[in-house]
Structures are given as C-alpha cells and as structure tokens.
Structure 1
Amino acid sequence: MISDPKEIDQILRNIIKKHIGPLQIRKDEENVLEAAGTIPTMQGKQKVDGFYFASVMPKPKDVRLYFFPIYTDAQNFEHIAPALRKCLKGKSCFHIKKLDESLQQEITEMIATGVKIYQEKKILITE
C-alpha cells in the first residue's frame, strides 16, 4: 500500500503518459500534469488544440486526479469498483490518499476506457 503523495503522483502521471499519441501533455510541472487530445476541436464555445482529458495534481495529503470522461460519459463508468468510487469527490475529481495494486489497476483500466470512448467520439486520434 502506497500512501506517499509523491509516489502516488508519479504512478498516476505514468498511467496517463502511457497514452501519449492519442493524448498530448499540455502541462508537466511539479504541481500539475494536464493531458488533452491532439485534434483541434470546439470545447464549449472555444476552439482548443485538443479536448481536455485529465489532470494530476499533488496535494500535501493526497493526489487529485481530474478525469473528464467520467463527467462527459458518466454512463460508461457506472460500474467502477467501490474502492475507486469511494475516492470520487464531486463529478470528476478523485482524491487518492492510498494506492494499492488493485486500485492502481482500476485507475489504469478507467483511463484506457476513457481514451477508447473519446476515440470512438473522434475527439482523440486512434493509434
């Protein structure tokens, strides 16, 4: 069980970075990693260089994973594991305080599902 926010932060960043190609990293700084698509598109009323996908933000006591697909396509994530659901605060923000192998696998699968959904919606490129 990992409880050090710095370690959790690095693991979550690595999970997202595995999807570079369909995703681009907009920001990779100590206090934030932000990932988005690579296809210019409209997001609301604004044209962006890629649809927002996720962010990782370390905090002193936990790491925040903002995961936009769970907001835009909530019906596809209704059956996430109870341990992961427990970390969800609000509609799209997960507060990760402890990370075991099972939760890490659930997050990995959730991110991959989000990429697949956005590829099907043609707001991410397919590999």
Structure 2
Amino acid sequence: MSVFAAVHERLRDIVLKNRGDLVVTKDGPAGMALEVPGLEGKPWGYVAGTRVGTGYVSYYLMPVYVSPELEASLSPELLRRKQGKACFNFTKVDEGLFDELDALTARTVPGFRAVAEELAARRR
C-alpha cells in the first residue's frame, strides 16, 4: 500500500465514521464524497470528502467553510495543513492531527444539513 493510499484510507474512515444520514456519492482510489441527500435520492450538497492528488491527499470539510469561527478552535499544527477555506492537505498519516480532524468532523458534520438548508433558503 502506498503512503498516499494509507493516508486516504485513514481520512476516508474519518468521513465514514461521522457520516450519519448523509450519502456517499463517490468512493474510490482517487477520493470520496459525502453529500446531503436530496429529494428523490439525488445528492443535494457536498459536505466532506477526500481527494488523492499527486503530491498529497486532501480532506475537505465544508462546515469549516461556512463557519470560519471554527478556525479559532484548530491547533496551529492543523492550521498549517489548511489550504483555502475548507481543505487540509496531508502527505503522511499523522494520528494526532487525524484525531483532531476526527473530533472536528464529529462536531460539525451531524448538524451541517440544517446549516446548509438554512443557507440555501436565504438564497431563494
């Protein structure tokens, strides 16, 4: 198993462990996606996922994007991995950071559907 495959598997496990009633819409060696289920079983909105790149594995967590105040709760080590508003990049398994990411995911994903629905209602 390559280093990136091991990183992806560990990050994938974090997403799956915390998915609740959300739907996995993509799951393969290149990455996975977790979305809010919509009407008639069609996915409605991206929540979290992974992507295996050529230089690192990315972990996307949309609750961080819509609630920037969450950044204040992140350790400096995890903040160094943050790229953009909702992406964290890893080149190797780091159990300490993955535990922190797991706790952040567990804290934010379960209530994200309500947040996403509220944001969508405001746009209408």
TM-score under structure 2 normalisation?
0.79
Distance 1:122 1:70, change over 3 A: closer
Aligned structure 1 segments of 4 or more residues deviating by more than 6 angstroms: none
Answer yes or no: is 1:57 the counterpart of 2:48. no
| Count, aligned residues | 114
Contact 2:18–2:110 (8 Å) recurs in 1: no
**Structure with more relative contact order (C-alpha pairs < 8 Å, separation 6 or more):** 1
Distance 1:120 1:106, change over 3 A: same
Measure how far apart 1:32 and its partner are: 2.0
CA distance in 1, matches of 2:61, 2:31: 13
Q: Which runs of 5+ in 1 are unaligned?
A: 41-47
Matches within 5 A, 1:6-45: 6-40=5-39
CA distance in 2, matches of 1:117, 1:75: 16
More helix by share: 2
What is the one-letter code of the residue matched to 2:86?
S
What is the Cα-based RMSD across aligned positions, in Å?
A: 2.1
TM-score under structure 1 normalisation?
0.77
Measure how far apart 1:112 and its partner are: 0.9
CA distance in 2, matches of 1:29, 1:101: 22
Q: 1:100 aligns with which of 91, 94, 99?
A: 94
Answer yes or no: is 1:109 the counterpart of 2:103. yes
Percent of matched pairs sharing the same residue: 25
CA distance in 1, matches of 2:88, 2:6: 16
